[in-house]
């Protein structure tokens, strides 16, 4: 997890500031972000399907991650903007698209030992890698310039490949053994079949919608973080520290979420995540500086740690045994669609209006979502009380 998320940060966290540095216009930056999010969504679904279909998680991860070396060379040799767009799209599909599979792999190992509740603490180590690599890469770029960027990507990819090679293939821990006929036929699934099985589970459908709204705002702001920091006068080191302060608190909440989930329903944890994001966006509007963006990443980190563990394990448990990986990948793809829409919307707002207007829009959406979640929790509580009264009367 440390090596994997360090690799993800090398492009996902830095490419917006990189393309600003090489002279992309505001419209081209918005296009690049939209390409990245859209192709990342396609990659998640494709790679999840291939893992279920061919039952070779390790080989698929290794092959997908290895393409990062070719992509880094492609970026180094790129001389036209469309070539950079292609490199970004390929990274999104083959490298970033593997993250649901990497997490399903982790959960699968833990499930074999009946230790799913440890997923948060292990995933938290990935946040350490993400945050520390942000500072390290930012420091290197600040000190030696963007000509070093391609080598940073390549080194992070090689490190991730070595970490995958050190692990046992997922089939050795009975990841695909759901039992019975369904498990035996897991290689014959289709996208249509997975989609039908996913949407007919009401709690799963509801959870996807809630997280969709949350990610719409987060992706809209987060995808342009390099632009925000740059507009407020920050450089690659400031951006690196922003990711550090954003990712480090995730470690705390990833470790605590397992305990919290034993006491509170996932929706309560998600409500807290929304409230933290509202506070963060409000304070950014008030202080309006790169330092505020950097430090307030702490609130975002706490929020993400809560919501990520809550919804990912919830979806994994609700998914039919035959569709575990495909269901997680499909859910992530639907949630990822919010990013495709939001980066277009937020990109338009930033280009035509201002960063201030974009953040204000995200804040308004979060406030409305919180009101709906509170109403839903209140209705559920009333229903539970009514059932208790009826049981008592009987």
Residue the block writes with tokens 């992070």: 156
Q: What are phi and psi of 4, to 5 degrees?
A: -65, -50
Convert the pLDDT of each residue in 101-142 to its tens digit.
Answer: 888 778 777 776 777 667 767 777 887 888 888 889 989 998
State the pLDDT at residue 305: 73
Determine the distance from the C-alpha atom of residue 376 to the mean position of all C-alpha atoms in its chain, rounded to a whole number.
Answer: 25
Q: How far apart are CA 230 and CA 225, in angstroms?
A: 8
- Please compute the mean of the pLDDT values over residues 151-179 and round it to a whole number: 75
- Which is higher by pLDDT, 258 or 78? 78
- Please compute the mean of the pLDDT values over residues 307-325 and round it to a whole number: 71
Give the class (CATH, top level) of 2-173+189-393. Answer: mainly alpha
Q: How far apart are CA 322 and CA 176, in angstroms?
A: 8
The H or E element spanning position 126 is helix 119-144
State the pLDDT at residue 170: 58
pLDDT band (50, 70, 90) for residue 174: very low
State the pLDDT at residue 381: 73
Q: What are the Cα distances from residue 264, in Å, to 118, 372, 375?
A: 17, 18, 17
- Which is higher by pLDDT, 85 or 167? 85
Burial class for 375, CB neighbours closer than 10 Å (0-12, 13-18, 19+)? exposed
User: In the numeric block, which tokens belong to residue 324?
Assistant: 């575990």
Contact 377, 267 (CB under 8 A): yes
Average model confidence (pLDDT) across the chain = 79
Q: Is the dihedral of CA 197, 200, 201, 203 positive or negative?
A: positive
| Nearest partner of 215 among 352, 320, 333, judged by Cα | 333
State the pLDDT at residue 42: 84
Does pLDDT of 47 surpass 90?
A: no
Q: Please count the other Cβ atoms lying within 10 Å of the Cβ belonging to residue 111.
A: 18
Query: How do the domains of the chain map onto residue ranges?
Result: 2-173+189-393
Does pLDDT of 371 surpass 90?
A: no
Convert the pLDDT of each residue in 65-75 to its tens digit.
Answer: 999 999 999 99
User: In the numeric block, which tokens belong to residue 74?
Assistant: 């492609």
Question: pTM for this one?
Answer: 0.70
- Please compute the mean of the pLDDT values over residues 308-323 and round it to a whole number: 71
Does pLDDT of 12 surpass 90?
A: no
Q: How far apart are CA 372 and CA 87, in angstroms?
A: 40
- Please compute the mean of the pLDDT values over residues 32-48 and round it to a whole number: 83
Contact 329, 48 (CB under 8 A): yes
Does pLDDT of 189 surpass 60?
A: no
Convert the pLDDT of each residue in 208-241 to its tens digit.
Answer: 888 888 888 888 877 777 787 887 777 888 888 8
């Amino acid at each position: 997890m440390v090596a994997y998320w360090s690799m993800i940060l090398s492009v996902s966290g830095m490419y917006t500031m990189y393309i600003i540095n090489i002279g992309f216009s505001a419209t081209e930056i918005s296009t690049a972000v939209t390409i990245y999010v859209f192709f990342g969504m396609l990659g998640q679904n494709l790679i999840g399907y291939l893992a279920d279909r061919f039952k070779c998680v390790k080989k698929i991860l290794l092959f997908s991650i290895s393409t990062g070396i070719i992509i880094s060379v492609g970026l180094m040799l790129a001389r036209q903007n469309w070539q950079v767009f292609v490199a970004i799209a390929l990274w999104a599909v083959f490298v970033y698209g593997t993250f649901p599979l990497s997490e399903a792999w982790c959960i699968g190992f833990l499930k074999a030992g009946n230790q799913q509740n440890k997923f948060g603490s292990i995933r938290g180590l990935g946040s350490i890698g993400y945050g520390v690599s942000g500072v390290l890469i930012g420091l290197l770029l600040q000190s030696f310039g963007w000509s070093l960027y391609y080598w940073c990507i390549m080194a992070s990819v090689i490190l991730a490949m070595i970490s995958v090679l050190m692990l046992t293939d997922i089939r050795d821990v009975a990841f695909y053994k759901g039992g019975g006929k369904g498990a035996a036929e897991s290689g014959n699934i289709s996208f249509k079949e997975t989609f039908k099985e996913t949407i007919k589970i009401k709690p799963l459908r509801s959870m996807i919608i809630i997280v969709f709204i949350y990610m719409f705002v987060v992706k809209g702001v987060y995808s342009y973080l390099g632009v925000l920091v740059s507009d407020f006068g920050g450089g690659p080191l400031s951006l690196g520290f922003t990711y550090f302060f954003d990712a480090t608190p995730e470690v705390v909440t990833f470790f605590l979420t397992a305990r919290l989930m034993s006491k509170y329903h996932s929706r309560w944890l998600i409500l807290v995540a929304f409230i933290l994001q509202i506070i963060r966006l409000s304070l950014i509007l008030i202080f309006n500086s790169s330092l505020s963006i950097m430090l307030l990443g702490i609130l975002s980190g706490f929020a993400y740690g809560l919501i990520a563990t809550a919804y990912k394990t919830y979806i994994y448990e609700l998914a039919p045994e035959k569709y575990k990986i495909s269901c997680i990948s499909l859910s992530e793809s639907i949630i990822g669609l919010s990013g495709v829409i939001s980066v277009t919307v937020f990109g338009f707002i930033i280009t035509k209006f201002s960063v201030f207007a974009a953040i204000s829009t995200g804040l308004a959406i979060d406030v409305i979502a919180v009101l709906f979640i509170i109403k839903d929790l209140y209705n559920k509580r009333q229903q539970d009380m009514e059932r208790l009264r009826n049981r008592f009367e009987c």
